[in-house]
């Protein structure tokens, strides 16, 4: 097995025919980890394993974010009630293949998973008033067909542009395919001016999918409230600052903003939303 | 064996790739990439991941009347934490894998190639700095045309560093008792940080390698590439502010062949040139 030295098993629950949902830190709006945190709070989970950071992250010190020290974490959670495994992790900085194979070792050998889903946010130039979309990339026909039951298949075509690299989720899909494990990455475009804060509508879009797929029985009232609350707050910014209103109207009309206008919109929205938190 | 990984100005890579193509060497095998590299490209069609491509590390082989040639070309250097050049465990592992193949095929000599950042002008013919991994090769190197040893370079006194795998491979080969030489084509100091190829130095490297290996080479295609590159560099040079050009013009008189004479450019000048060039590119060249 790939990196069992780095794996710390705390307990071995009786997994049945689980699925694994993966959320990475550092995607747009931290959507992946927000979805995992939300599910953790709703499903009554326990931590059963984690990957030690030593081989995968530079440990020459710690970073500080929003006044708080950060430290890489890579933890597996299990919901006995729903037979669902969740994995929340920072993206490793080296030994990616070994790291992903350690995740797959846990998924395959301990949890006997039949499907893996990764969650990610991507930057969108649309306005927040547009409905959130859900895009999926699968690693096999089997999972693609399964996905089709719960959302309209958009049949996306994509190739990494020069100077950029594939996502870690694509790397995981490829590694899972090599072990004949069905996997898909789910992406929700997040309006660019919500990246520094949060986008509950994007979060809801993913949870809705997972709820249908795994019969989680989620009560969406809190998410609906969060979406409504944010929309109201942005409406107040638009009312108070005609310039912000004008920028968002541009986006609603499918017009683009200049770099300067975009930066101003991000700043105004971030300041206002953080102030009224 | 002739081996190379990418570096400044793609000097070694262009030289080795040209030589490999001229000899029509055939692909022999590769080092599996996934434990060394992050993927470089994904291809998704109709919502399905079709292909994940990694940087390649391939071996090529050609049997000729002059002997058997093994080539190794690495598309990327394995790095930890986003550094430009390989170092540490992964680099050492890869160097050992390359030498394993060299030994398996009975290679008698290994050449690697890279760039030598030098205080020269881009109109000068780049020299080739040659560094062997054993003293026994020094006399042979002295016979190569347009080639200098570290001790021929002013103020170096035979000392220096070869960054990344083009250097590390020589060390690993030394440990295993295989003769190796790194041949580095000179690139002007003011071009070192730019994302451009410098094929003129590749030609110098290629001439040295061809002579050392006893191979006849046809430089027509490479010369066309050099002409194009020189035009682009001239255009860039013309856009430098006069105060930077004034310093750079001094480089026209530089030669390494006289280590005891004071050069026309001082260490302070070199520092100033690099600072000015850095400032110029940070600010962005003015459009005409």
Complex ipTM: 0.86
Confidence (pLDDT) at A154: 76
Please list every residue in chain A whose beta carbon sits closer than 8 Å to the beta carbon of residue B80.
58, 93-94
Residue B80 banded pLDDT, cuts 50, 70, 90: low
Tell me how many degrees the CA angle A191-A195-A200 measures, rounded to the nearest 5. Answer: 75
User: B129: number of CA atoms within 13 Å, CB side?
Assistant: 24
CA torsion, ordered A141, A146, A150, A154, to nearest 10 deg: 0
DSSP B181-212: EEEEEEEEGGGTTSS---HHHHHHHHHHHHHH
pLDDT for B261 beyond 60: no
Who among A96, A136, A177 is closest to B38 (CB)? A96
- pTM for this entry: 0.84
- Test the B interface: residue of A168, A170, A181, A182 with most B CBs within 10 Å: A170
Residue A191, beta-bridge partner list: A124
Write out residues in chain A with pLDDT < 50, as ranges. none
- The answer to whether B44 contacts A173, with C-beta atoms less than 8 Å apart, is no
SS3 A106: helix
The reported pLDDT for the residue numbered B286 is 42
Q: Check pLDDT > 60 for residue B284.
A: no
Q: What is the pLDDT of residues A91-110, one digit of tens each?
A: 999 899 999 999 999 999 99
Q: Indicate the pairing of strand A182-191 with strand B128-132.
A: unpaired
pLDDT per residue over A167-196, tens digit each?
999 999 999 999 999 999 999 999 999 999
* Residue B263 confidence (pLDDT) above 50: no
Do A19 and A84 touch, CB atoms closer than 8 A?
Answer: yes
- C-alpha angle A10-A11-A13 in degrees, rounded to nearest 5: 150
pLDDT at B61: 97
Over the stretch B166-192, which tens digit does the pLDDT of each residue have?
A: 889 999 999 999 999 999 999 999 998
> How far apart, in Å, are the Cα atoms of A97 and each of A92, A124, A169, A185, A256?
10, 29, 12, 17, 39
Q: What does pLDDT average to over chain B?
A: 87
Shortest distance between the Cα of B53 and any Cα of chain A, in A, equals 9
Q: With bands split at pLDDT 50, 70 and 90, how would you rate the model's confidence at B258? A: very low
Reported confidence tier of residue B285, pLDDT bands at 50, 70, 90:
very low
Average of per-residue pLDDT across B16-38? 95
Mutant choice from B43, B45, B52 vs A, greatest count of A C-beta within 10 A: B52
Q: Answer left, alpha or beta for residue B158, where phi above 0 means left and psi between -120 and 50 means alpha.
A: left
Are A171 and B52 inside 8 Å of each other by CB?
yes
- Beta strands A7-9 and A46-51, pairing class: antiparallel
Amino acid B255: pLDDT = 62
Give Cα separations from B212 to A247, B10, B110, B149, B165 (angstroms). 66, 21, 12, 15, 22
Residues B191-238 have pLDDT tens digits of 988 889 999 999 999 999 999 999 999 999 999 999 999 999 999 988
């Amino acid at each position: 097995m790939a990196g069992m030295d780095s794996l710390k098993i705390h307990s071995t629950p009786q997994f049945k025919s689980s699925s694994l949902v993966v959320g990475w830190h550092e995607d747009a709006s931290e959507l992946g980890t927000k979805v995992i945190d939300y599910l953790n709070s709703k499903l009554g989970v326990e931590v059963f394993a984690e990957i030690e950071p030593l081989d995968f992250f530079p440990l020459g010190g710690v970073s500080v974010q929003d006044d708080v020290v950060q430290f890489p974490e890579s933890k597996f959670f299990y919901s006995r009630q729903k037979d669902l495994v969740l994995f929340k992790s920072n993206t490793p900085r080296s030994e990616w293949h070994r790291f992903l194979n350690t995740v797959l070792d846990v998924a395959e050998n301990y949890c006997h998973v039949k499907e893996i889903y990764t969650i990610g946010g991507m930057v969108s130039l649309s306005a927040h008033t547009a409905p959130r979309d859900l895009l999926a990339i699968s690693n096999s026909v089997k999972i693609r067909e399964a996905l089709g039951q719960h959302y309209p298949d958009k049949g996306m075509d994509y190739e990494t542009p020069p100077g950029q690299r594939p996502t870690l989720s694509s790397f995981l899909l490829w590694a899972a395919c090599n072990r004949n494990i069905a996997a898909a990455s789910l992406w929700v475009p997040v309006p660019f001016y919500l990246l520094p804060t949060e986008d509950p509508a994007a979060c809801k879009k993913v949870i809705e999918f997972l709820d249908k797929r795994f019969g989680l029985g989620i009560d969406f009232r809190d998410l609906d409230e969060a979406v409504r609350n944010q929309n109201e707050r942005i409406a107040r910014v638009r009312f108070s600052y005609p310039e912000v209103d004008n920028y968002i109207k541009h986006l609603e009309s499918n017009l683009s903003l200049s770099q300067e206008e975009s930066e101003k919109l991000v700043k105004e929205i971030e300041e206002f939303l953080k102030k009224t938190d | 064996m002739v081996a190379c990984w990418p570096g400044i100005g793609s000097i070694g890579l262009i030289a080795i790739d040209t030589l490999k193509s001229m000899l029509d060497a055939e692909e022999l095998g590769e080092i599996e990439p996934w434990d060394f590299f992050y993927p470089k490209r994904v291809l998704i069609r109709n919502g399905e991941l079709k292909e994940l491509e990694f940087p390649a590390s391939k071996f090529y082989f050609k049997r000729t009347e002059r002997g058997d040639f093994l080539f190794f070309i690495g598309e990327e250097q394995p790095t930890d934490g986003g550094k430009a050049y390989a170092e540490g465990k992964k680099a050492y592992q890869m160097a050992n894998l390359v030498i394993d193949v060299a030994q398996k095929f009975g290679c008698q000599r290994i050449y690697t190639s890279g760039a030598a950042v030098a205080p020269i002008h881009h109109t000068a013919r780049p020299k080739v700095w040659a560094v062997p991994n054993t003293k026994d090769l020094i006399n042979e190197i002295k016979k190569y045309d347009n080639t200098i040893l570290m001790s021929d370079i002013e103020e170096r006194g035979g000392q220096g560093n070869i960054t990344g795998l083009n250097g590390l491979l020589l060390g690993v080969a030394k440990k295993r008792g295989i003769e190796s030489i790194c041949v580095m084509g000179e690139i002007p100091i003011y071009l070192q940080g730019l994302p451009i190829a410098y094929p003129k130095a590749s030609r110098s490297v290629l001439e040295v390698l061809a002579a050392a290996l006893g191979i006849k080479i046809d430089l027509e295609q490479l010369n066309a590439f050099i002409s194009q590159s020189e035009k682009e560099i001239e255009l860039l040079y013309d856009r430098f502010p006069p105060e930077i050009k004034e310093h750079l013009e001094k480089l026209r008189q530089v030669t390494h062949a006289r280590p005891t004479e004071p050069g026309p450019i001082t260490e302070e000048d070199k520092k100033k040139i690099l600072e000015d060039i850095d400032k110029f590119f940070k600010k962005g060249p003015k459009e005409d």
